[in-house]
Amino acid sequence: MLAKLSLIFPFCLAIHVTAMNAQTASETPLSADLARYYFGSPEAEITARTDLDSALKRLGNFRGQINTGQHLLGALESYEQSLELYRRHESYLHLRCSEDRKDPACDANAKLGSEVNAATAFLSPEILLIPEAQLHGFQSAEAGLKPYQFALEDIRRDSPHTLPGTEQAFLDRLQPEIADWQYDLYEQILAGIPFGTVETPAGSLDIVRQRNLLASHADPRIREEAFRRRLDGFASRRDLFAFALLRTVRAQDALAQLHNYPDAPARKYISMYLKPEQTRALLTSMAEHGDVVKRFERIRADEYQLSNHAQLRVWDLAAPQKDLPLPITPLTDAPSIFHQAFAGLGIEYQKAFDALLDPLGGRADILPGGAPNRYAGGFSTGFAGSASMLFVGRYDGTFKDLSVIAHEGGHAAHRGFMSANGVKPLYASGPSFLFESFAAFNELVLADYLAEHAADPRLKRYYLEQWMRIKGLDAFYGAQDALLEQQLYEGVSKGDVRGPDDLDKLTLRVDSQFSPFPAITGELRNRWATLSLLYEDPLYNINYVYGGLLALKYYQLYAADREHFLPRYMALLKNGFDAPPAVLLRQYLNIDLFDDSLLKDDLVLLNRRLDQLEAGASN
User: Of 262, 430, 400, which is closest to residue 320 (Cα–Cα)?
Assistant: 400
d(CA 430, CA 428): 7
At residue 398, the 3 state secondary structure works out as: coil
d(CA 350, CA 282): 35
User: 499: number of CA atoms within 13 Å, CB side?
Assistant: 2
Q: Tens digits of per-residue pLDDT, 379-415?
A: 999 988 789 999 999 999 999 999 999 999 999 999 9
Q: Is 58 exposed, middle or buried (0-12, 13-18, 19+ CB in 10 A)?
A: middle
Query: 471-487 burial, b if ≥16 CB within 10 A, otherwise e?
Result: bbbbbbbbbbbbbbbbb
Output DSSP code: residue 180.
I
d(CA 466, CA 300): 11
Residue pair 546/433 in contact (Cβ under 8 Å)? The answer is yes
User: Of 132, 130, 38, which is closest to residue 75 (Cα–Cα)?
Assistant: 130
Neighbours of 409 (CB within 10 A): 26
- Packing angle, helices 474-494 and 276-288, rounded to 10: 120
d(CA 376, CA 107): 19
pTM comes to 0.92
Phi, psi of 200 (to 5 degrees): -130, 165
Handedness of CA 548, 553, 559, 563 (dihedral sign): negative
CA angle 330, 332, 336 (to 5 degrees): 105
Residue pair 446/334 in contact (Cβ under 8 Å)? The answer is no
Distances (CA, A) of 231 to 132, 142, 506, 509, 575: 56, 60, 17, 18, 43
User: 222: number of CA atoms within 13 Å, CB side?
Assistant: 23
pLDDT at 385: 79
Instruction: Walk me through the domains of the chain, giving residue ranges and CATH numbers.
Output: 37-180 (1.20.140.70), 226-362+398-619 (1.10.1370.20)
DSSP H or E stretch at residue 428: none
At residue 324, the 3 state secondary structure works out as: coil
Tell me the pairing of strands 378-381 and 389-395. antiparallel
User: 310: number of CA atoms within 13 Å, CB side?
Assistant: 13
Neighbours of 60 (CB within 10 A): 16
Distances (CA, A) of 548 to 438, 507, 535, 542, 576: 9, 22, 22, 10, 20
pLDDT at 618: 59
Phi, psi of 449 (to 5 degrees): -60, -45
Q: Give Cβ neighbours of residue 227 (< 8 Å, ≥ 6 apart).
A: 215, 314, 315, 523
Q: Give Cβ neighbours of residue 14 (< 8 Å, ≥ 6 apart).
A: none
pLDDT at 617: 66
pLDDT at 619: 58
Q: Give Cβ neighbours of residue 143 (< 8 Å, ≥ 6 apart).
A: none
Please report which residue ranges of 394-526 form alpha helices under DSSP H: 399-420, 432-452, 457-466, 474-494, 500-511, 517-520
For residue 392, the cross-strand partners are: 366, 378
CA angle 201, 204, 210 (to 5 degrees): 110
Q: Give Cβ neighbours of residue 323 (< 8 Å, ≥ 6 apart).
A: none
Residue pair 13/455 in contact (Cβ under 8 Å)? The answer is yes
pLDDT at 25: 44
Handedness of CA 68, 71, 73, 76 (dihedral sign): negative
Residue pair 447/471 in contact (Cβ under 8 Å)? The answer is yes
d(CA 381, CA 405): 13
d(CA 79, CA 148): 12
Low-confidence residues of the chain: pLDDT under 50: 3-25
pLDDT at 26: 58
Q: Tens digits of per-residue pLDDT, 83-103?
A: 999 999 999 999 999 999 999
Residue pair 461/616 in contact (Cβ under 8 Å)? The answer is yes
Give the 3-state secondary structure of 104-148: CHHHHHHHHHHHHHHHHCCHHHHHHCCCHHHHHHHHHHCHHHHHH
For residue 200, the cross-strand partners are: 203
Phi, psi of 129 (to 5 degrees): -75, -15
d(CA 361, CA 353): 11
User: Of 121, 143, 137, which is closest to residue 67 (Cα–Cα)?
Assistant: 137
d(CA 146, CA 149): 5
d(CA 179, CA 177): 6
- Identity of the amino acid at 139: Q
